[in-house]
Amino acid sequence: MSDIKKVVLAYSGGLDTSVILKWLQDTYQAEVVTFTADLGQGEELEPARAKAKAAGVKDIYIDDLREEFVRDFVFPMFRANTIYEGEYLLGTSIARPLISKRLIEIAQETKADAISHGATGKGNDQVRFELGAYALNPSIKIIAPWREWDLLSREKLMAYAEKNGIEVDMKHKQGGSPYSMDANLLHISYEGRHLEDPAAEAEESMWRWTVSPEAAPNEAEYLDIEFKQGDIVALNGQAMKAHEILAELNRLGGKHGIGRLDLVENRYVGMKARGCYETPGGTIMMKAHRGIESITLDREVAHLKDELMPRYASLIYNGYWWSPERVALQTLIDHTQSHVNGWVRVKLYKGNVSVVGRDSKTDSLFDPNIATFEDDAGAYDHQDAEGFIKLNALRMRIAAKVRPIKK
């Protein structure tokens, strides 16, 4: 007899978690509490409530976490200009620590014995969910069905669902096994189906948020983005909340075909995996943030951030958001943002976002009197460069006398 009487399940109402709900009830004979996070995935969440209720769930949590998600997780990550392996903006990764946090809180509120999730044993999310949970409650029990059951394919899951009368949203008009999808305000991801062949191009019908660049408007659109201490606070002069800003950037980016990515990434568990992503708002945010930093950050501070960013990105990708080293890095990153204030103008056109203007009335380090190619009235003494160059060349000049470079 299991000592687990109550389990909090991270529940979307999709194929995997709908099957897990029934499986937990049957396998553990436990009461299941469902938790559905509204992270701005753009889907109606009440059907999840209805499905959970139909499955006999008494405690159903559907929490609007959009503002907290963008303000406390997405924005801090973007202050670091975070990109994993040169391309991925970490849309799935950054949502997991918040979900873990809320799972632990609900477990405490409901006096549950364990938490459960739908991440597979091959993926990164099992690591992210569980590292976060253990960091917040080191004694928590975790049930990971994909590491226990024999339903190890989409086809087996669908057969189980059919046998038990579980409704499944195919999420694909052509039928067959659905894509494995994850969506929140930062991105939507797609895995599975023919994407498992890295040589196969993604179907155009798969994309949900963005038009193809070919179908995007033939006229460019300009957007003014205002920053305060590294975070976006207004678009075209209109102040908005964090989640409203990202939602609007998604709309504009999607309209212009911005933010599509087809990626083969290195998972933490060791394998390579192919996925496709739509991150329209995040793509605009990244370009704009680097634009405002270009005039407000000291050169060496900017370069230090760029050196640290891959390590910071790996920490988030691998699930170490709540680790002491990530917190320490965040403290440094946030310190660098105290003078990242001003505005950036971007141009959106046919899948591209370009910075075309930037300014900061209070914190710009760009001095036109020094940078000009015209007469600078003595602001910069060209003769100073001679000694600077000779001193920097000194070690190479000494070495050249001893060990001439072979041509």
pLDDT score of 176 more than 60: no
Identify the CA nearest to 247 among candidates 232, 230, 229, 263: 232
If 0-12 CB within 10 Å is exposed, 13-18 middle and 19+ buried, where does residue 387 land?
Answer: exposed
Reply yes or no on whether 16 is catalytic. Answer: yes
Is 249:318 a contact under the CB 8 Å cutoff? no
Q: Give the span between the Cα atoms of 406 and 22, in whole angstroms.
A: 72
Indicate whether 332 pLDDT > 80. Answer: yes
- Choose the weakest-confidence range: 92-101, 120-129, 293-302, 323-332: 120-129
Q: Is 180 assigned a catalytic role? A: yes
Closest CA to 276 of 373, 337, 198: 198
Q: Can you give the pLDDT at residue 170?
A: 52
| Nearest one of 212, 177, 205 to 350, comparing CA atoms | 212
Is residue 178 pLDDT above 90, yes or no? Answer: no
Mean pLDDT of the chain: 95
Q: What is residue 88's DSSP assignment?
A: B
pLDDT of amino acid 366: 97
CB 39 within 8 A of CB 10: no
Q: State the pLDDT at residue 60.
A: 98
Given a cut of 90, is residue 134 above it in pLDDT?
Answer: yes
Cβ atoms of residues 116 and 345 within 8 Å: no
The domain 188-359 is classified under which CATH number: 2.40.50.140, 3.40.50.970, 3.40.50.620, 3.90.1260.10?
3.90.1260.10
Q: What's the CA gap between 44 and 260, in Å, rounded? A: 24
CA distances from 334 to 283, 313, 338 (A): 21, 15, 7
In contact, 366 and 295? CB cutoff 8 Å? yes
The band of 177, judged by pLDDT with boundaries at 50, 70 and 90, is: low
Q: What's the Cα-to-Cα distance from 376 to each of 109, 165, 188, 365, 367, rounded to whole Å?
A: 67, 78, 50, 17, 11
Contact predicate 247/40, CB 8 Å: yes
Say yes or no to pLDDT of 174 above 50: no
358 is catalytic: no
pLDDT higher than 90, residue 34: yes
Coil, strand or helix at 28: helix
Q: Which residue ranges does the chain devote to CATH 3.90.1260.10? A: 188-359
pLDDT of residue 265: 97
Q: What band does 348 get if pLDDT is binned at 50, 70 and 90?
A: very high
Q: Catalytic: which of 66, 116, 125, 193?
A: 125
Helix pair 96-110, 125-136: axis angle to 10 deg: 50
- Strands 272-278, 188-191: pairing kind: antiparallel
Confidence label for 171 from pLDDT (cuts 50, 70 and 90):
very low
The strand order across the sheet containing 272-278 reads: 180-183, 188-191, 272-278, 260-266
For residue 8, give the nearest of 98, 115, 93, 105 by alpha carbon.
115
Work out the average pLDDT over 207-221. 97
Indicate whether 244 pLDDT > 60.
yes
Burial class (CB in 10 A: 0-12, 13-18, 19+), 204: exposed
Q: What is the mean pLDDT of residues 295-309?
A: 98
DSSP-assigned states of every residue in 91-107: TTGGGHHHHHHHHHHHH
- Give me the sign of the Cα torsion angle 48, 104, 42, 172: negative
Average pLDDT value for residue range 263-276 = 96
**d(C-alpha 175, C-alpha 155), whole Å:** 12
d(Cα 315, Cα 204) in Å, to the nearest integer? 33
pLDDT at residue 104 above 60? yes
Supply the CATH classification number for the domain 6-68+89-178.
Answer: 3.40.50.620
Q: Where are the beta strands (DSSP E) in 281-364?
A: 342-349, 352-359
**Beta-sheet strands, E only, within 247-366:** 260-266, 272-278, 342-349, 352-359
Res. 6: pLDDT tops 60: yes
Q: Which of 216, 209, 211, 234 is nearest to 224 (CA)?
A: 234
Residue 175 confidence (pLDDT) above 60: no
Residue range 59-88, pLDDT digits in tens: 999 999 999 999 999 999 999 999 999 999
| Identified catalytic residue from 12, 100, 116, 180 | 180
Q: Residue 18 is inside which H or E element, if any?
A: helix 15-28
Q: Confidence class of residue 172 from pLDDT cuts 50, 70 and 90?
A: very low
Q: Which of 49, 66, 96, 128 is catalytic?
A: 96
pLDDT category at 204 given cuts 50, 70, 90 is very high
334 in catalytic set:
no
**Listed residue (49, 203, 66, 181) closest to 125, CA to CA:** 181
Q: What tokens were used for 106? A: 């609900």
What residues does CATH 3.40.50.620 cover in the chain?
A: 6-68+89-178
